[in-house]
Amino acid sequence: MTATDRRTIRCAIYTRKSSDEGLDQTFNSLDAQREACESYIASQRHEGWKLIPARYDDGGLSGGNLDRPALQALLSDIAAGRIDLVVVYKIDRLTRSLADFAKLVERFDAASCSFVSVTQSFNTSTSMGRLTLNVLLSFAQFEREVTAERIRDKIAASKKKGYWMGGLLPLGYDQHPDPKMRTLVINELEAERVREIFRLYRDLGCLRLAEQQVAARGYTSKRRTFSNGRTTGGRSLNRGQINFILRNPVYTGRIRHKLEIHDGLHEAIIDPELWDAVQGRLDRNSPKKARRPSKSGALLTGRIFDETDDFLTPTHAQKGGRRYHYYSSARLLAGEPNCADAWRLPARQVEDAVVRATTEHLRSKAAQMVARPSRSDMDRIDMRLTDIGRSDVCSVIERVDVSPGQMTIRLDAKELAEFLGADFQITAPKHLTIEAPFQLRRRGVESKLVFGSDVACPDQTLVRAIADAHVWLEEIRSGTPVTVIAERVGRPPAKLARRMRLAFLSPPIVEAILDGRQPAALTFSRLMRMDIPSEWDAQWQILGFEDAA
């Protein structure tokens, strides 16, 4: 074979580093990875390998997801047909998630693109090579998850000892000048403003009036400059920010970690008497929980929080004349950096799940929660719980805490006793907490919450498509031409024929789809893009049921 006959293989190098430590050096980890990949490509020049000039470097980004600018640019160029081969130093530079790797391979295969690891030799054209690759990725994912657990445990243990473990600095404090001292030092100018804010609310007793006085004095939020040069803050304090300051225990020399508060190593700005006075006034002035929805229609307004104790605020989005409602973390709405762990949950699904879990809990535990109920008491309680409505349920909820895989509902004993219709004494505090495991599943662009054992969630679009395919197939068998059916349903014959392939799915697959037990990634649009084999066993494997079993 001559040089002119040899096909040129356009190679792209992808590099990644999880942390941004050392990236400002003249020769950093990304450069080292790229140099090794360039040498490898040069050694394969006789095979037609040629490095393209574009660079794809992700510095300071985790391999746990695909939301990386350089990786997305790489995938776009692959889809556009500009790249034939991706070269990486190690497979875990590309991804540390087995599920994400499957997605990448699917996109690579669709564009006839391959990939090579410089330091790991395997051949994915054989079953043993694919097994080796999956084992490597499984260990990479395991390593990432174990590392994350260690970091979380270290943060929890450090906060218990009073250390400041990073995050946005609160108004009134600065980071200790010695980086080895993980604590805060008082910023006297800001600290005096914080004390004045506390005194204003103590004297005025109204957040709105306190906001006006703070604005008149020209007090602003803390100005912060990040490592990339981006600055935030320096704006007038709004009512929500003032309320957050007044409720933040850091000003009393303590550290908050999720729902726990520990003694900190830093000095307090607010003395205990002023803190207690302000907290008492805030509690007294907090509006009593209404038994009807707020004006926005959100039942859980002011009651739902994420694992960082951040409010989930009712929001909505408009698309195609339809309004979609969500509960979103406040820091996400404020545009704060590093919000990858922020929440944006479908409002109706969250409310339905909370109402259902609370109602079932009350009906099953009411007799155990009330001290020595008489028969007439129980009859009255049963009647109240029989007619209980959505807003009634929310009126007895003190707060809902959302964390990965878990939703915790805490009931208000006083409100519950009042709702039940008598001055009952709640004798079992353990029954005031409800644990509701859940998962957030995606079907295309749609998010769906699956709670507890409620795992059956049929995809109605997919179900209707399968039903239509069977109807059309029966019409064709009875002699109706495809063109007639296509004209009636308003689809081109070619698209109609492609949709009719769903009529040849195996009975177990159809049964699983009707029960909602199909893999979460198996959507109608994905099925239409796939080549569905005629063999039923092959269908089961290719459509992902083997992995979901």
Q: Domain range spanning residue 477?
A: 460-548
Total domains present in the chain: 4
Q: Please say which residue of 401, 416, 451 terminates a domain.
A: 451
pLDDT digits (tens, 9 = 90+) for 306-345: 877 777 888 888 777 777 888 888 777 766 655 666 778 8
Does residue 13 sit in the same domain as residue 77?
yes
Task: Please say whether the beta carbons of 415 and 320 come within 8 A.
Answer: no
pLDDT of residue 480: 87
The segment with the largest mean pLDDT, out of 124-133, 150-159, 244-253, 470-479, is 244-253
Taking all residues of the chain, what is their mean pLDDT, rounded to a whole number? 79
pLDDT at 421 over 70: no
160 belongs to a structural domain? no
321 belongs to a structural domain? yes
Q: In this structure, what CATH number is given to the domain that contains residue 235? A: 3.90.1750.20
pLDDT at 457 over 60: no
DSSP notation for 326-379: EEEEHHHHTT-S--TT--EEEHHHHHHHHHHHHHHHHHHHHHHHBSS--HHHHH
pLDDT at 111 over 70: yes
Residue type, 367: A
Overall average pLDDT of the 147-165 stretch: 82
Does residue 495 sit in the same domain as residue 445?
no
Does residue 346 sit in the same domain as residue 406?
yes
293 belongs to a structural domain? no
Rounded CA separation 327/345 (Å): 5
Q: Across the strands, what pairs with 344? A: 328
Rounded CA separation 172/509 (Å): 61
Does residue 382 sit in the same domain as residue 404?
yes
Nearest to 30 by CA among 85, 77, 84, 68: 68
Helices and strands (H and E) in the chain: how many: 21, 19
Work out the pLDDT band at 12, boundaries 50, 70, 90: very high
Does residue 140 sit in the same domain as residue 49?
yes
Q: Which residues of 405-435 are buried (b: 16+ CB within 10 A; e: fewer)?
A: eebbbebbbebbbebbeeebebeeeebbebe
Q: How many CB atoms lie within 10 A of CB 371?
A: 9
200: Cα within 13 Å, side-chain hemisphere: 24
Say if residue 141 is exposed, middle or buried (CB neighbours under 10 Å; 0-12, 13-18, 19+).
buried
Nearest to 165 by CA among 265, 82, 67: 265
Which tokens hold the place of 424? 């009952």
Rounded CA separation 140/119 (Å): 15
Q: In this structure, what CATH number is given to the domain that contains residue 65? A: 3.40.50.1390
Does residue 354 sit in the same domain as residue 475?
no
Does residue 431 sit in the same domain as residue 334?
yes
Model confidence pTM above 0.75 = no
Residue 184 per-residue DSSP state: E
483 belongs to a structural domain? yes
416 belongs to a structural domain? yes
Overall average pLDDT of the 100-118 stretch: 82
Q: Which residues of 120-133 are buried (b: 16+ CB within 10 A; e: fewer)?
A: eebeeeeeeeeebb
pLDDT at 132 over 80: no
pLDDT of residue 291: 42
295 belongs to a structural domain? no
**Residue that wins the pLDDT comparison between 199 and 141:** 199
Q: Please say which residue of 451, 479, 496 terminates a domain.
A: 451
Task: Please say whether the beta carbons of 343 and 331 come within 8 A.
Answer: no
**Distance between start and end Cα atoms, the chain:** 49
Rounded CA separation 293/295 (Å): 7
**Residue that wins the pLDDT comparison between 333 and 471:** 471
Cα 211-217-223 angle, rounded to 5 deg: 85
Residue type, 487: E
| The residue to which tokens 């177990």 are assigned | 508
pLDDT at 348 over 90: no
Tell me the H-state helices in 14-113.
29-43, 69-79, 91-94, 98-110
* Phi-psi group of 229: left, alpha or beta (phi > 0 → left; psi -120 to 50 → alpha; rest → beta): left
pLDDT of residue 287: 52
Rounded CA separation 106/393 (Å): 46
Work out the pLDDT band at 454, boundaries 50, 70, 90: very low
pLDDT at 405 over 80: no
Work out the pLDDT band at 396, boundaries 50, 70, 90: confident
Does residue 314 sit in the same domain as residue 446?
yes
Say if residue 28 is exposed, middle or buried (CB neighbours under 10 Å; 0-12, 13-18, 19+).
middle
Does residue 323 sit in the same domain as residue 440?
yes
188 belongs to a structural domain? yes
Three-state DSSP class for residue 381 = helix
Residue 292 per-residue DSSP state: S
Cα 137-141-143 angle, rounded to 5 deg: 115
Rounded CA separation 29/90 (Å): 13
Task: Please say whether the beta carbons of 100 and 66 come within 8 A.
Answer: yes
Least confident of 36-40, 260-264, 360-364: 360-364
Signed CA dihedral, 346, 347, 352, 358: sign only? positive
Overall average pLDDT of the 332-360 stretch: 77
pLDDT at 502 over 80: yes
Overall average pLDDT of the 224-250 stretch: 82
Work out the pLDDT band at 535, boundaries 50, 70, 90: confident
Residues near 519 by beta carbon (within 8 Å), at least 6 away in sequence: 543, 544, 545, 547, 548
Residue 124 backbone phi and psi in degrees, to 5: -75, 0
| The residue to which tokens 């969500």 are assigned | 326
Work out the pLDDT band at 415, boundaries 50, 70, 90: confident
pLDDT at 21 over 50: yes
pLDDT of residue 390: 78
Which tokens hold the place of 216? 């008149």
Which tokens hold the place of 155? 């943060």
Does residue 358 sit in the same domain as residue 390?
yes
Does residue 443 sit in the same domain as residue 475?
no
Residues near 113 by beta carbon (within 8 Å), at least 6 away in sequence: 78, 83, 84, 85, 86
pLDDT of residue 441: 55
pLDDT of residue 549: 45
Cα 205-210-211 angle, rounded to 5 deg: 145
| The residue to which tokens 């660079």 are assigned | 55
Residues near 456 by beta carbon (within 8 Å), at least 6 away in sequence: 515, 516, 517
Does residue 187 sit in the same domain as residue 111?
no
Work out the pLDDT band at 74, boundaries 50, 70, 90: very high
Sequence-ordered strand ranges (E) for 140-272: 173-175, 184-186, 224-225, 231-232, 254-257, 260-263
165 belongs to a structural domain? no
Q: Please say which residue of 258, 285, 312 terminates a domain.
A: 285
